[in-house]
Amino acid sequence: MEEQNAELRKLVDNELDKFVLYVLKRQDRIIPIVGDDCFYGKIKRKNGYISVPLQQWLAEELLENLSSDVIKNKIVSQGYYGLDCLFEEYKKQTEEDFCQFIDSISYLIENGVEDGRLGVRKDVESFLSAGNFEVIVTTCPYDIMFKGLKCGDKCYSISSFAPQKVTIGESKSEAVLELPAIYQLFGNSNNEFVFGEDSLLRFLHYLNQSDIERGFGASQLVKYMKDKGADNKGFPLLMPIGCSNLPNWIFRFLWYPFCLNPEKDSNKQGGVWYKYSDDKSFCDFLKNYNFRTLSKATDILRVGTTAEDPVLSRLTAEFNAKEEKIKRYISQQPNIETSNNGEWDVFISYAGEDFDFSQKVYDILTEECNQKVWMDKRGPGRINAGNDYWDVIQLGIEHSHKFLFVITENYLKKAKGKNHRDKTTGAIGPTGVYREIELIRHHILNKRKDAEKNNIIPVIVEGTKVTYTDINNKKHMNESLCSGMLEKLPYFEEYALMQTQDLFRYVHDMVCNEETLKKNLKSIFKS
pLDDT along the chain (527 residues), means of 10: 74 87 89 92 86 90 87 88 91 89 91 90 93 92 84 84 72 67 91 91 83 60 79 80 85 81 58 88 88 83 71 92 75 56 82 91 91 78 57 81 86 76 72 83 62 67 68 62 43 47 48 82 77
Q: What is the pLDDT of residue 10?
A: 84
Residues 220, 109, single domain; the answer is no
**461 located within any domain:** yes
Counting the structural domains of the chain, the total is: 3
Q: What is the Cα–Cα distance from 212 to 228, expressed in whole angstroms?
A: 18
The whole-number pLDDT of residue 262 equals 53
Residue 403 · residue 364 · CB < 8 Å: no
The answer on 128 and 67 residing in a single domain is no
Strands 118-120 and 150-151 turn out to be unpaired
Does one domain contain both 62 and 186?
Answer: no
The reply to whether 60 and 207 lie within a common domain is: no
Q: Judge whether 330 lies within some domain.
A: no
pLDDT at 268: 59
Q: What is the DSSP string of 324-377?
A: HHHHHHHHT-TTB---TTS-EEEEEE--GGGHHHHHHHHHHHHHTS---EE-B-
Which residue, of 83, 114, 145, is where some domain finishes?
A: 114
Phi–psi pair at 451, nearest 5 degrees: -70, 135
Same domain, 502 and 362: yes
Write down the pLDDT at residue 143: 87
Same domain, 149 and 277: yes
49: Cα separation from own chain's centroid:
36
SS3 32: strand
pLDDT value for 223: 81
Indicate whether 107 and 214 sit together in one domain. Answer: no
Can you give the pLDDT at residue 126?
Answer: 93
Do 393 and 349 belong to one domain? yes
What residue numbers bound the domain in which 386 lies? 335-525
184 Rama class: left (phi>0) / alpha (psi -120 to 50) / beta: beta
Same domain? 345 vs 215: no
CATH of the domain at 449: 3.40.50
Q: Per the domain annotation, does 20 fall within a domain? A: yes
